[in-house]
């Protein structure tokens, strides 16, 4: 056993990544405070070829040193947009025909293992303390949650985002 080299991993260049097909998925960050969390979401989005990351409210935007440090350059490869409010982003997504899903523990949420991906989806990831804003929920087609059995019943927003993106990648993978 040995660690694979960059060549053996067949990593794409930034230029090649820009031309490959992305998953029809938008990850929406609703007032995420931590720049490290924002950077980690970009990094996971790059890994799983997520279409876009939309940053809303107090969520910081690239270019920013702290985002870049965690993203390891994914903030330069993953398309992103900024909206003053998450509601404005949701309105635009609805107009574009996206199903919007809150990743939140709410009445009627679907467990991740039971969730079936749709053709065009957006996932709202909430603030580290307050979760998805209550005012955002009426815009959502539905909600999903990651089952947990520990004492906290919550995951870090970047960890949760990575799990969601991995599941979507498995279901929608462009690699078959």
173 pLDDT band (50/70/90 cuts)?
Answer: confident
Q: What is the CATH number of the domain that holds 39?
A: 3.40.1280.10
Cα distances (Å, whole numbers) of residue 47 to 36, 66, 159: 17, 19, 14
Is residue 39 one of the residues assigned to a domain?
A: yes
Residue 6 lies in a domain: no
pLDDT digits (tens, 9 = 90+) for 7-60: 899 999 999 999 999 999 999 999 999 999 999 999 999 999 999 999 999 999
Residue 80 lies in a domain: yes
**pLDDT for 82-104, tens place per residue?**
999 999 999 999 999 999 999 99
At 174 the pLDDT is 59
Mean predicted confidence (pLDDT) in 105-119 = 96
Q: How many separate domains does the chain show?
A: 1
Q: Does a structural domain hold residue 10?
A: no
Average of per-residue pLDDT across 114-122: 95
């Amino acid at each position: 056993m040995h660690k694979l080299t960059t060549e053996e991993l067949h990593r794409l260049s930034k230029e090649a990544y820009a031309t490959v097909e992305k998953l029809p998925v938008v990850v929406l960050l609703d007032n995420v405070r931590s720049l490290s969390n924002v950077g980690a979401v970009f990094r996971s989005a790059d890994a799983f070829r997520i279409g876009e990351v939309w940053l809303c409210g107090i969520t910081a935007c690239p270019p920013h040193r702290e985002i870049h440090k965690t993203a390891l350059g994914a903030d330069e490869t993953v398309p992103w947009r900024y909206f003053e409010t998450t509601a404005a982003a949701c309105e635009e997504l609805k107009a574009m025909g996206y199903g919007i899903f809150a990743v939140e523990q709410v009445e009627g949420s679907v467990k991740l293992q039971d969730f079936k991906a749709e053709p065009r989806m957006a996932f709202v990831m909430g603030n580290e303390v307050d979760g998805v804003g209550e005012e955002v929920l009426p815009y959502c087609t539905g909600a999903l949650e990651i089952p947990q059995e520990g004492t906290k019943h919550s995951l870090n927003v970047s960890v949760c985002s990575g799990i969601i993106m991995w599941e979507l990648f498995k279901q929608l993978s462009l690699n078959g």
